[in-house]
Structure 1
Amino acid sequence: MRILHIIGTLNPEAGGPTESVRVLLSYGPIGYTGEVVTLDDPTAPYLRQIGFRVHALGPTSTKYGFNSKLLPWLKENRSRFDGVVVNGLWQYCGYAAWRTLSGNTPYVVFTHGMLDPYFKHTFPMKHIKKWLYWAPVEYHVLRDAYRVLFTSKAEKRLAEQSFWLHRWNPHVVPYGASGPPEIDPEQMKRAFFECCPSVKGKRFLLYLGRIHRKKGCDMLIQAFGQVAHEDPSLELVMAGPDQQRWSTELKAIAVEYGVSHRIHWPGMLTGESKWGAFFASEAFILPSHQENFGIAVAEALSCGAPALLADKVNIAEEIAEEGAGLMELDTLDGTLNLLRRWIGMTPDERKAMSKRASECFHTKYDMRENAKAIIRLFETATTHPAGS
């Protein structure tokens, strides 16, 4: 099965959608052979030593991602593929796919949480601007797709609340991560401690993701500052790229609470150092205000790290039900409760939750199942006329 992925960028700093494409394209042995067309600059360093074929048509200078090469490239190459996956919304990628593939090659759209009503409520002016694009373009991109893919029933339900004008063929697919490489965890821990030596030999909770306002990083720093005295040996690692340049403000909050010496900022972690951080941590914490899935959540579970999550992480409830983590509200009080509940657990209770975390990953969040699901979709797909 030959599948094309269309995505604006493969830059790891872009977050979950990029990582999901990288993982999916590694599953050749199960019949999933893929290529990627992207708007990246072909000389971008993150495209070096990548394990699949990439057609980088950039550089592209606008946020919308208009690229005059994309539409003719798709027309010329569409016949080589059994199906196409459009990753994300609100970019020229989707428009180009709709114009060239509808009625020719079956395509699906992976929304990656971009239809969550959180954005409508949090950024009402942006939502009005989106309406101007939704009605003439994005609505049709989704309407004419063979399937619109969601990673959970919660995401599917929430997507219907963003725009009253909507019609699509929804499909919930399994989602997750690839799990750690088959390398000695101690070796990966050493790689992490090389990036963050100040936490070596210490107990810590791990936040790993973009340093972004949506993620609730400010609440996490404030909550840790308030409960730190209850567990004097517990530290906090804040790992991830700071594209919003917010960390200066967050570090000032830590100073205000007198816990700056117990919070560590190693920056973005990749490869062995990332996996080593998961293995070395006591638990992973994500008090996000909106999270479609959170690949880092699945990665943490795969390493046996329990997940301490806000209720706005769409898979938080099922992880809590599995006993693989904890869930509280996406508020300061909720984040305080997450930390206090973890601090209040006995070592045996934490060990048992770590075991359930690993089991939960293997039964629910192995990304290999997502690859298989996409293959099955395209195997049963028939080219259908636009709007059917």
Structure 2
Amino acid sequence: MKILHLLASVDPRDGGPVEGVSRSGVAMQAAGHTIEVATCDTPGATYLAAFPFPVHAFGPTRNRYSYSERLAPWIAENARRFDAVIVHGLWQYHGLAAWKALRNSNVPYYVYAHGMLDPWFKQAYPLKHLKKWLYWPWAEYRVLRDARAVIFTTEEERTRARESFWLYRANERIVPFGTIVPPLDAAAVREAFLKKMPDLRDKRIVLFLGRVHAKKGCDLLIDAFARVANRDPALHLVIAGPDETGWMTSLRAQAKAAGISQRVSLPGMLQGELKWGAFHASDVFVLPSHQENFGVAVAEALGCGLPALISDKVNVWREIDMDGAGLVAADTVDGTEKNLLRWLEMDRAAREAMRVQAARTFNSRFRIETMAAALTALLETNGGHDDRHPAPLTTFREATPQGR
């Protein structure tokens, strides 16, 4: 098949959706499919050349909505070259552009929600939610309603999505997310990371790796770590990732106020060997997120044999808990502390068994091949276009929020 992915941007700082397109696209390309990408990036942006597929960039744009007047006409003109179009994420123009260009076309489009319908956003940002309500009926509602399928990565994400907007209509499908752990020399990348950060040598590293954003619970992690740090002087917290909102300054001040500034490192975004070296140099991975659709870094940590201490707001928490590949607690300081304490109180054999199970869970649940196969099956069953045999209209299922 020939598949077009639509994203607002392929900037790697944007996290999971960009990583997901890159990883799954490589796997699908290896299986014989052709992948192209269209974005609202500025042509010539440095990260475009590093992306593994042809990127059609229709920026620059003037605001976070990423409106480009050229995108919808280009999609309409080029749609017949593709068997399916996949929209990644909501609340930016590329989804509406796909709807404008394809709603009366035989070329089906699909929407990956990427957790952006989670009701947590309604609770955390009520004013933003009100603005989204003004936008919802004439844009995102229609984008989801007319999509061949709206794709969720877990059952948890699908059921929670129904709680955000009472006006909701979608043909829901689940495609498990997956990622790749490259076959690197673990000892070599570990050493490269420790050479970059020599103060971490011989430390027991507690690792957070992801976007440094309020929803990720980094502030909870600092306070929880402060409570347990005196249990082992070798413990050291690393919070690595891009800082979108300037939160690093506040987190450093928080660590200083808690008396642990010398035991907390915030190195910024880690990429390539340094990223994988961080996983292999660490003892445990922690994500106390308030909202997490999947958590690519969770799967990557598991693939490196790193147990995951996560909150019950990370939508793969049931799988982690069921397999014993990590520990789960509430997205609070007490819950994060509980996870750390339970892990610290394990004996060596129990911790090693959890590391082994972490790798098993990755291989059985979160490999990119699993995702690529499920996505391919969905597109082949529901997608494709043929002028002689137009794709049948999907019967949409009305869904209403629980408790209404």
| TM class, shorter-length | over 0.9
Q: Which residue of 143, 151, 155 maps to 1:153?
A: 155
Q: Which residue of 88, 108, 111 maps to 1:109?
A: 111
Q: Does the residue aligned with 1:112 lie in a helix, a strand or coil?
A: coil
Q: How far 1:193 sits from its partner (Å)?
A: 2.1
Distance 1:200 1:48, change over 3 A: farther
**Partner Cα distance (2:37, 2:192) in 1:** 30
**Partner Cα distance (1:23, 1:336) in 2:** 33
Is residue 103 of structure 2 the alignment partner of residue 86 of structure 1?
A: no
| Code of the aligned partner of 1:102 | R
Q: What is the match of residue 173 of structure 2?
A: 171
**Partner Cα distance (2:380, 2:99) in 1:** 20
**Partner Cα distance (2:256, 2:349) in 1:** 33
**Partner Cα distance (2:175, 2:393) in 1:** 24
Q: What is the match of residue 348 of structure 1?
A: 349
Q: How far 1:243 sits from its partner (Å)?
A: 1.4
Q: How far 1:200 sits from its partner (Å)?
A: 2.0
Q: What is the match of residue 312 of structure 1?
A: 313
- Which stretches in structure 1 are left out of the alignment for 5+ residues? none
**Partner Cα distance (1:381, 1:335) in 2:** 42
| Code of the aligned partner of 1:84 | V
Q: What is the match of residue 123 of structure 1?
A: 125
Distance 1:47 1:190, change over 3 A: farther
Q: Does the residue aligned with 1:58 lie in a helix, a strand or coil?
A: coil
8 Å CA contact 1:32, 1:371 repeated in 2: no
Q: Does the residue aligned with 2:199 lie in a helix, a strand or coil?
A: helix
Q: Out of 370-379 and 207-216, give the one that drifted further.
A: 370-379
8 Å CA contact 2:24, 2:178 repeated in 1: no
Alignment of 1:22-33 (within 5 A): 22-27=22-27, 28-33=29-34
TM-superposition CA deviations, 1:225-249 (whole Å, max 9, x none): 1110012211111101111111111
TM-score by length of 2: 0.93
Q: How far 1:133 sits from its partner (Å)?
A: 1.0
8 Å CA contact 2:148, 2:394 repeated in 1: no
Q: Does the residue aligned with 1:269 lie in a helix, a strand or coil?
A: coil
TM-superposition CA deviations, 1:277-305 (whole Å, max 9, x none): 11111111000000011000000000000
Q: What is the match of residue 302 of structure 1?
A: 303
| Code of the aligned partner of 2:152 | F
The runs of 4+ residues in structure 1 deviating greater than 3 Å are 384-388
Is residue 40 of structure 2 the alignment partner of residue 20 of structure 1?
A: no
Q: How far 1:143 sits from its partner (Å)?
A: 0.6
Distance 1:59 1:195, change over 3 A: farther
Q: How far 1:384 sits from its partner (Å)?
A: 4.1
Q: What is the match of residue 358 of structure 2?
A: 357
**Partner Cα distance (1:49, 1:78) in 2:** 25
RMSD (CA atoms): 1.3
8 Å CA contact 2:299, 2:366 repeated in 1: yes
Q: What is the match of residue 198 of structure 1?
A: 199
> Once the two structures are aligned, what percentage of the paired residues are identical?
50
| Code of the aligned partner of 1:154 | E
Alignment of 1:267-346 (within 5 A): 267-346=268-347
TM-score by length of 1: 0.97
Q: What is the match of residue 401 of structure 2?
A: none
Q: What is the match of residue 217 of structure 1?
A: 218
- Which stretches in structure 2 are left out of the alignment for 5+ residues? 384-390, 397-404
Q: What is the match of residue 2 of structure 2?
A: 2
**Partner Cα distance (1:378, 1:337) in 2:** 43
8 Å CA contact 2:171, 2:395 repeated in 1: no
TM-superposition CA deviations, 1:316-370 (whole Å, max 9, x none): 1210110100000001110110111111111111110000000000100012221
Q: How far 1:85 sits from its partner (Å)?
A: 0.6
Q: What is the match of residue 243 of structure 2?
A: 242
TM-superposition CA deviations, 1:141-185 (whole Å, max 9, x none): 001101000010000000000000111100011112112x22211
Q: Out of 26-35 and 90-99, give the one that drifted further.
A: 26-35
Q: What is the match of residue 70 of structure 1?
A: 71
Q: Does the residue aligned with 2:55 lie in a helix, a strand or coil?
A: strand
Q: Does the residue aligned with 1:177 lie in a helix, a strand or coil?
A: coil
**Partner Cα distance (1:386, 1:171) in 2:** 12
**Partner Cα distance (1:198, 1:361) in 2:** 30
**Partner Cα distance (1:332, 1:23) in 2:** 33
8 Å CA contact 1:237, 1:263 repeated in 2: yes
Distance 1:386 1:144, change over 3 A: farther
**Partner Cα distance (2:184, 2:217) in 1:** 32
| Code of the aligned partner of 2:9 | T
| Code of the aligned partner of 1:74 | I
8 Å CA contact 1:306, 1:325 repeated in 2: yes
8 Å CA contact 1:102, 1:385 repeated in 2: no
Q: How far 1:385 sits from its partner (Å)?
A: 4.9
8 Å CA contact 1:214, 1:288 repeated in 2: yes
Q: What is the match of residue 258 of structure 1?
A: 259
| Code of the aligned partner of 1:374 | L
TM-superposition CA deviations, 1:242-266 (whole Å, max 9, x none): 1111111111121122211111111
Q: Does the residue aligned with 1:299 lie in a helix, a strand or coil?
A: helix
TM-superposition CA deviations, 1:92-132 (whole Å, max 9, x none): 10111011112321111000000000011111111111111
8 Å CA contact 1:102, 1:386 repeated in 2: no
